């Protein structure tokens, strides 16, 4: 009986920890209003100092003296704050994390969710144009696990009965 109670307790602890939010409730309370990437790009001054939760796919990352600078292609978030797999985006934004993050792990294509304070905008070259990036100072970054790839099944041979050597139609000889 004690073994059964122990197993149930462990399973409940695992289930409860799996439901833990990636952005803490304290940090979530700091988000007073939904501020979009477009709003910050058009008029950054009223947005400065406000906390936002954005996410998307990493386009690039580099370690600087101030910390790690991450460029992200914004994607809308689902209910669990994970970026959706869609082809719509409001653009790109920059995140400055004050600590060292390994850019081999925070690499291109990985999904990320960040809670950060809006610092304004930075204008940097993107290809042959000057692009206006909304700029965040990270308070919390969550790097999502890779999504499993879909398995494609291919058949080398035609399915039964065509590959059988005795298939000759009725009657069988």
Q: Is 10 within a domain?
A: no
**Model confidence band, residue 15 (pLDDT cutoffs 50, 70, 90):** very low
What's the DSSP call for residue 11?
A: H
Rg of the chain in Å (alpha carbons): 25
Q: In the structure encoding, which two tokens stand for residue 96, read together?
A: 């400055």
Q: Is 69 within a domain?
A: yes
pLDDT digits (tens, 9 = 90+) for 99-132: 999 999 999 999 999 999 999 999 999 999 999 9
- pTM, rounded to two decimals: 0.74
Q: Is 99 within a domain?
A: yes
Q: Is 155 within a domain?
A: no
| Alpha-carbon gap, residue 3 to 9, rounded angstroms | 10
**Model confidence band, residue 24 (pLDDT cutoffs 50, 70, 90):** confident
Q: Is 50 within a domain?
A: yes
Which contiguous run of DSSP H or E holds residue 6? helix 2-18
Q: Is 12 within a domain?
A: no
51-63 and 68-74 beta bridge pairing: antiparallel
| Alpha-carbon gap, residue 72 to 57, rounded angstroms | 5
**Model confidence band, residue 51 (pLDDT cutoffs 50, 70, 90):** very high
**Model confidence band, residue 32 (pLDDT cutoffs 50, 70, 90):** confident
Nearest to 122, CA basis, from 57, 64, 83, 53? 64
Q: In the structure encoding, which two tokens stand for residue 75, read together?
A: 């994607």
Domain that holds residue 115: 23-143
């Amino acid at each position: 009986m004690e073994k059964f109670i122990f197993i149930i307790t462990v399973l409940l602890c695992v289930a409860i920890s799996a439901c833990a939010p990636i952005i803490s409730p304290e940090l979530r309370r700091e988000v007073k209003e939904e501020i979009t990437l477009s709003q910050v790009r058009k008029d950054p001054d009223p947005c400065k100092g406000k906390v936002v939760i954005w996410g998307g796919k990493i386009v690039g990352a580099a370690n600087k003296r101030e910390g790690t600078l991450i460029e992200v292609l914004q994607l809308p978030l689902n209910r669990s704050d994970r970026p959706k797999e869609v082809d719509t985006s409001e653009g790109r934004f920059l995140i400055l994390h004050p600590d060292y993050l390994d850019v081999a792990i925070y690499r291109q294509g990985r999904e990320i969710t960040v809670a950060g304070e809006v610092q304004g905008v930075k204008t940097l070259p993107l290809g042959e144009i000057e692009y206006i990036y909304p700029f965040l100072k990270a308070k919390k970054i969550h790097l999502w696990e890779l999504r499993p790839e879909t398995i494609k099944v291919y058949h080398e041979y035609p399915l039964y009965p065509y590959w059988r050597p005795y298939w000759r139609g009725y009657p069988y000889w």
